C-alpha cells in the first residue's frame, strides 16, 4: 500500500481554498471526520469522569497542568545529556548463556526481515518503501501519525481517520531487535549488533523527545525501555562509539523522565502502572551511573511490592480477569525479581508467593496443549517478544519461565517452547500431568472442572467473578456466568475475542458484549453496561448460591448475577452439574418479574474450526478429526437454534488481534415460565 506521506492534520482549521468541487468535498469530509473524532474524544472524557472519585479528579487536573507546562517547553536530546557515562546492562552472567535450542534460525529470520524492512505484525504488512516514515506510518490506512506535534495533543482514541494506534506502537516497541542482539552475542557476529545500533540511531533521529505518537503512552515507553536495555545487554560495548553512547543514554534518560512524570494512577493503575514501575526499576537498578537511578529503583520496587496484592487476587486470579494480561503482569514481575536477585536486592517473599499463586491458577486453566481459554481482552502484548509467543502460546510461555525462576515444576506447562527469556530465567521441563478434579477460585471468581471423559481430556471454566480491575474494568467483558469448554487441545465454546481496541467502534462493543459470550442474554442488553472502548457503567455482581460440592461422582455449583435487575427486574442464576461419566448439565433460571420479559437466550459461541449438524434436536459438534460432543436440551419442546454469520454480521470470532472471522452460535430460548410469572428456566446437556 502506498504511503500518504502527508501527516494527517488534527487542527480545526482546514484548507477550503481549493478551486475544484472535489477538493472542497475532501476538505468538508475531513472537517466532518475531525468533528466526529472530537465528539468521540469528549464522550470518552465524560464517561471516564463518571468513573472517577474526587482524589482522581484532582490528580487528573494536576496531571493536565503538568502536561500543559511541558507543552510550553521545547525539549530536545541535549536536555537529557548524561555526558559520556557507562550505558546500562541487564545483569546477565559473564559466561555466554546457553542458547535456547532451535531459536537461532528464527532469530536469523527476524534479522533478515528487519534488514529488508519487511515488517509484519497482527497479520498486517508494513510498507517497505516507508523510509523514515516507518516509525509513524499506519500500515492499514497508509497514513502517517504526526511526528512533530506535542504527544498529548494527538487524539489517538476513537480516531476514524487512522487505523488502530496499536499498529504503529507495535513496531516502535523495538522488540524485533531483542533476538537480533541475542543472535550477535551467541554467534560472536558483530553484524547483527551493528544493525541494532543503526536502528536505534534512526529511531532517536525520527522521534525527538515528547513529539509524536510514540511518546503518548507510558506502557509503550516502558516496553521500548526494556527492548533498548536488552539490546545493550547483548552487544559488546566496544562496538558503541562515544557519540552513540551519548545518544543512547539521552534516549533512555528521556524515557525515564517521562515515565516518572506521568505515572498511571487510580483507574489507570492496572498493567500500565506495573509496566511503568518495572521499567523504572530496571532502569534505576541496572544504571547506577544515572543521577536519578536510586530514586527510580526505589520507586519501582515500592510500587511493585505494594501492587502485587492488588493486581493478583489472593487465590491467584489476575484482577484484570484476563489470562493474557495476568501473564503480562507476571512477565514484568519476573524481570524485576530476577534483576533484584542478581543485583543483591531481592523483593519480599510475599511477591514471590503471589506470583506462585497466579502460576497455579493459570495451570488449572490450561489444557493438554498448554493453552488456556481466551477470557477478556488480549492484545498480544509481551515484554520479551518471540514469534513462538503469539496467539495461544503466550500464557504457557510465561508460565514456563515462572516455573524455572521459582523452581516450581508443578506450574510448568505441558508443552515448553524455547524462548529468549530462557537466557535470563532458565528453561523449565514440561509437566504433562493433566490435573483432574474441580476447584473454585472464590476471590477471582472462577470454578474449573477437569476430567478425563471417554478418553478425552475435558476442561470447563465457569465465570462468577468481578467484571475487571478498578473503576473502569478496562479489559473485562460482559461475560457474567459465562463458560468456556476445551476438549483435549481444542477450544469448543469460546470467548468472541478482542479484534481491535481504539478503532474497533461498534465491533469493539460487540466483542465485549454479553451476546458474544456463553451465557444468557436478554434481548440486546448487556449484563454490564458498555460506556466506551475501555469503560463500563453499571456492572453485574456475581455470587455463589450453592458452593461447589461433589456427590456420587458429580460436581455441582450454582451461581447468580444481578446485571439485569435495573432494566428487567430479574436475576440470572446458573447451575452446572459435571458428571464424571461424560455428561455436563447446565440449568439457567431468570428469577423475578418475567411476565413481560423480552426474548432471552442462552448462547454458546463455537470455535470456527468446528462444524455443527442438527439431528432431531441433537446438535453434534464436530472437528475435522471427529465428533467432539453432542448438545441437547432438557425440554424437547424447545430445541437449540443454530445462528450462522452473514457477511460481516455476528456471530464473529477474533482469534488474534486485528482479525475476525465468521463462526456459529447455538441459542436456546429461556421460555419455560412458571404459573405466577416469577421464573423462566431452560437447560442444556453436553454429552462428550
Residue range 549-558, pLDDT digits in tens: 999 999 999 9
Nine cell digits for residue 546: 450453592
pLDDT in tens, 74-99: 999 999 999 889 999 999 875 555 67
Beta-bridge partners for 601? 521, 669
37 — pLDDT class (breaks 50, 70, 90): low
d(CA 497, CA 517): 9
Task: Give the pLDDT mean for 245-257.
Answer: 98
d(CA 72, CA 685): 65
The answer, yes or no, to whether residue 17 has pLDDT greater than 60, is no
Q: Beta 600-605 vs 664-669: how paired, if at all?
A: antiparallel
Q: What would the DSSP string read from start to end of 549-606? A: EEETTEEEEEEEE-TTHHHHSEEEEEEEEEETTSEEEEEEEEEE--TT---EEEEEEB
d(CA 387, CA 380): 11
Task: Give the pLDDT mean for 132-152.
Answer: 94
CA-only gyration radius of the chain, Å: 26
The answer, yes or no, to whether residue 7 has pLDDT greater than 50, is no
Q: Match 497479520 to its residue by C-alpha cell.
A: 123
Nine cell digits for residue 54: 474526587
| CA atoms within 13 Å, Cβ hemisphere of 399 | 32
d(CA 310, CA 304): 10
d(CA 444, CA 459): 18
Please give the pLDDT value at position 676: 75
Do residues 440 and 557 make contact, with C-beta atoms less than 8 angstroms apart? yes
Nine cell digits for residue 493: 465454546
Determine how many CB atoms are found less than 10 A away from the CB of residue 488. Answer: 17
Residue 526: CB partners within 8 Å, gap ≥ 6? Answer: 478, 513, 514, 515, 563
Please give the pLDDT value at position 95: 58
Please give the pLDDT value at position 418: 92
SS (H, E, C) 110-173: HHHHHHCCCCEECCEECCCCCHHHHHCECCCCCEECCCCCEHHHCCCCCCCCCCCHHHHHHHHC
Q: Beta 661-662 vs 664-669: how paired, if at all?
A: unpaired
Q: Match 508443552 to its residue by C-alpha cell.
A: 415
Do residues 166 and 657 make contact, with C-beta atoms less than 8 angstroms apart? yes
Backbone angles phi, psi at 585, to 5 degrees: -115, 140
Task: Give the pLDDT mean for 396-412.
Answer: 97
The answer, yes or no, to whether residue 1 has pLDDT greater than 70, is no
Share of the chain above pLDDT 70, in %: 91
Please give the pLDDT value at position 644: 94
Virtual torsion, Cα 152, 158, 159, 165, nearest 10 deg: 70
d(CA 575, CA 545): 9
| CA atoms within 13 Å, Cβ hemisphere of 667 | 18
Nine cell digits for residue 302: 515500592
Residue environment code for 307-328, b if the CB has 16+ CB neighbours within 10 A, otherwise e: bbeebbbebbbbbbbbbbbbbb
Q: Match 478434579 to its residue by C-alpha cell.
A: 437
d(CA 339, CA 54): 37
The answer, yes or no, to whether residue 564 has pLDDT greater than 80, is yes
d(CA 25, CA 22): 5
Helix or strand or coil: residue 456?
Answer: strand
Q: Match 442464576 to its residue by C-alpha cell.
A: 573
Nine cell digits for residue 267: 483507574
Determine how many CB atoms are found less than 10 A away from the CB of residue 174. Answer: 21
d(CA 16, CA 29): 11
Please give the pLDDT value at position 389: 64
8-state DSSP, 78: G
Nine cell digits for residue 505: 467502534
8-state DSSP, 320: T
Task: Give the pLDDT mean for 2-16.
Answer: 41
In angstroms, the Cα distances linking 109 to 106, 114, 390, 417 are 5, 9, 16, 17
pLDDT in tens, 508-549: 999 999 999 999 999 999 999 999 999 999 999 999 999 999
Tell me which residue of 568, 587, 564, 607 sits closest to 668, measured CA to CA: 587
Q: What would the DSSP string read from start to end of 490-525? A: EEEE-------STT-THHHHHHHSGGGSSSEEETT-
The answer, yes or no, to whether residue 26 has pLDDT greater than 50, is no
pLDDT in tens, 314-331: 999 999 999 999 999 999
Task: Give the pLDDT mean for 577-603.
Answer: 94
Q: 7-16, 56-65, 130-139, 254-263 — which one is most confidently predicted on average?
A: 254-263
How do the domains of the chain map onto residue ranges?
Answer: 312-428, 437-541+602-681
Nine cell digits for residue 235: 552487544
Query: How buried is residue 168: exposed, middle or buried, by Cβ count under 10 Å (0-12/13-18/19+)?
Result: buried
Cis omega (within 30 of 0) for bond into 366: no
Average pLDDT over the chain, rounded to whole?
91
Residue 675: CB partners within 8 Å, gap ≥ 6? Answer: none
Nine cell digits for residue 366: 490450561
Tell me which residue of 262, 265, 148 sits closest to 209, measured CA to CA: 148
Please give the pLDDT value at position 678: 86
d(CA 236, CA 306): 36
Task: Give the pLDDT mean for 410-424.
Answer: 95
d(CA 48, CA 41): 11
278 — pLDDT class (breaks 50, 70, 90): very high
Angle at 425 between CA 421 and CA 431, to 5 degrees: 90
d(CA 9, CA 17): 16
The region of weakest confidence among 49-58, 181-190, 208-217 is: 49-58
Rounded to the nearest angstrom, the gap between the alpha carbon of residue 373 and the centroid of all alpha carbons in its chain is 13
Query: How buried is residue 678: exposed, middle or buried, by Cβ count under 10 Å (0-12/13-18/19+)?
Result: middle
Please give the pLDDT value at position 40: 57
The answer, yes or no, to whether residue 47 has pLDDT greater than 80, is no
Helix or strand or coil: residue 275?
Answer: helix
Please give the pLDDT value at position 13: 33
Nine cell digits for residue 371: 493453552
8-state DSSP, 69: H
Amino acid at each position: 500500500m502506498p504511503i500518504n506521506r502527508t501527516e494527517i492534520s488534527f487542527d480545526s482549521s482546514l484548507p477550503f481554498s481549493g478551486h475544484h468541487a472535489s477538493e472542497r468535498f475532501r476538505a468538508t469530509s475531513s472537517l466532518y471526520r475531525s468533528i466526529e473524532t472530537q465528539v468521540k474524544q469528549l464522550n470518552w472524557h465524560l464517561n471516564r469522569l463518571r468513573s472517577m472519585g474526587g482524589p482522581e479528579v484532582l490528580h487528573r487536573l494536576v496531571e493536565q497542568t503538568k502536561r500543559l507546562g511541558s507543552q510550553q517547553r521545547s525539549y530536545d536530546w541535549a536536555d537529557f545529556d548524561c555526558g559520556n557515562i557507562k550505558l546500562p546492562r541487564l545483569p546477565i552472567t559473564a559466561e555466554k548463556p546457553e542458547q535456547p535450542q532451535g531459536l537461532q534460525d528464527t532469530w536469523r529470520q527476524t534479522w533478515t526481515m528487519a534488514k529488508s524492512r519487511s515488517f509484519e505484525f497482527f497479520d498486517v504488512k508494513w510498507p517497505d518503501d516507508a523510509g523514515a516514515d516507518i516509525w509513524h506510518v499506519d500500515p492499514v490506512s497508509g497514513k502517517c501519525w504526526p511526528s512533530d506535534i506535542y504527544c498529548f495533543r494527538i487524539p489517538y482514541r476513537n480516531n476514524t481517520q487512522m487505523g488502530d494506534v496499536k499498529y504503529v506502537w507495535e513496531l516502535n516497541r523495538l522488540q524485533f531487535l531483542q533476538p537480533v542482539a541475542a543472535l550477535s552475542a551467541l554467534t560472536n557476529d558483530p553484524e547483527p549488533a551493528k544493525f541494532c545500533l543503526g536502528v536505534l540511531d534512526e529511531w532517536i533521529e525520527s522521534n525527538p523527545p515528547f513529539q509524536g505518537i510514540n511518546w503518548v503512552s507510558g506502557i509503550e515507553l516502558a516496553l521500548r525501555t526494556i527492548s533498548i536495555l536488552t539490546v545493550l545487554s547483548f552487544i559488546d560495548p566496544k562496538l558503541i562509539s562515544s557519540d552513540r553512547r551519548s545518544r543512547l543514554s539521552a534516549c533512555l534518560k528521556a524515557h525515564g523522565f517521562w515515565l516518572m512524570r506521568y505515572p498511571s494512577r487510580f483507574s489507570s493503575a492496572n498493567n500500565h502502572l506495573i509496566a511503568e514501575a518495572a521499567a523504572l526499576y530496571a532502569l534505576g537498578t541496572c544504571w547506577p551511573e544515572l543521577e536519578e537511578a536510586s530514586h527510580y529503583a526505589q520507586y519501582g520496587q515500592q510500587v511493585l511490592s505494594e501492587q502485587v496484592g492488588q493486581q493478583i487476587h489472593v487465590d491467584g486470579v489476575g484482577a484484570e480477569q484476563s489470562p493474557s494480561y495476568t501473564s503480562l503482569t507476571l512477565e514484568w514481575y519476573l524481570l524485576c525479581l530476577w534483576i533484584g536477585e542478581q543485583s543483591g536486592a531481592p523483593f519480599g517473599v510475599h511477591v514471590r508467593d503471589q506470583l506462585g499463586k497466579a502460576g497455579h491458577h493459570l495451570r488449572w486453566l490450561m489444557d493438554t496443549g498448554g493453552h488456556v481459554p481466551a477470557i477478556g481482552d488480549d492484545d498480544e502484548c509481551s515484554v520479551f517478544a518471540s514469534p513462538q509467543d503469539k496467539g495461544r502460546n503466550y500464557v504457557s510461555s510465561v508460565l514456563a519461565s515462572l516455573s524455572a525462576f521459582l523452581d516450581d515444576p508443578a506450574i510448568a506447562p505441558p508443552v515448553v517452547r524455547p524462548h529468549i527469556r530462557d537466557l535470563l530465567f532458565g528453561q523449565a521441563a514440561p509437566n504433562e500431568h493433566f490435573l483432574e478434579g474441580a476447584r473454585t477460585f472464590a476471590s477471582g471468581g472462577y470454578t474449573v472442572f477437569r476430567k478425563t471423559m471417554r478418553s478425552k481430556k475435558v476442561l470447563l471454566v465457569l465465570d462468577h467473578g468481578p467484571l475487571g480491575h478498578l473503576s473502569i474494568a478496562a479489559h473485562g467483558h460482559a461475560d457474567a456466568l459465562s463458560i468456556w469448554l476445551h476438549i483435549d487441545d481444542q477450544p469448543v465454546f469460546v470467548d468472541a475475542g478482542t479484534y481491535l481496541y481504539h478503532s474497533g467502534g461498534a465491533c469493539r462493543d460487540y466483542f465485549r458484549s454479553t451476546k458474544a459470550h456463553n451465557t444468557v442474554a436478554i434481548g440486546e442488553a448487556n449484563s454490564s453496561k458498555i460506556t466506551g472502548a475501555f469503560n463500563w457503567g453499571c456492572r453485574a455482581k456475581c455470587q455463589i448460591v450453592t458452593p461447589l460440592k461433589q456427590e456420587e461422582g458429580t460436581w455441582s455449583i450454582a451461581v447468580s448475577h444481578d446485571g439485569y435487575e435495573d432494566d428487567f427486574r430479574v436475576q440470572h442464576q446458573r447451575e452446572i452439574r459435571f458428571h464424571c461419566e461424560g455428561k455436563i448439565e447446565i440449568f439457567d433460571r431468570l428469577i423475578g418479574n418475567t411476565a413481560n420479559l423480552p426474548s432471552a437466550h442462552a448462547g454458546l459461541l463455537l470455535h470456527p474450526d468446528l462444524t455443527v449438524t442438527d439431528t432431531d434436536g441433537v446438535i453434534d459438534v464436530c472437528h475435522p478429526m471427529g465428533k467432539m460432543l453432542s448438545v441437547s436440551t432438557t425440554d424437547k419442546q424447545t430445541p437449540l437454534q443454530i445462528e450462522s454469520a452473514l457477511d460481516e454480521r455476528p456471530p464473529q470470532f477474533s482469534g488474534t488481534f486485528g482479525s475476525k472471522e465468521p463462526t456459529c452460535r447455538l441459542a436456546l430460548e429461556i421460555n419455560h415460565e412458571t404459573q405466577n410469572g416469577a421464573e423462566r428456566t431452560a437447560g442444556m446437556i453436553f454429552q462428550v
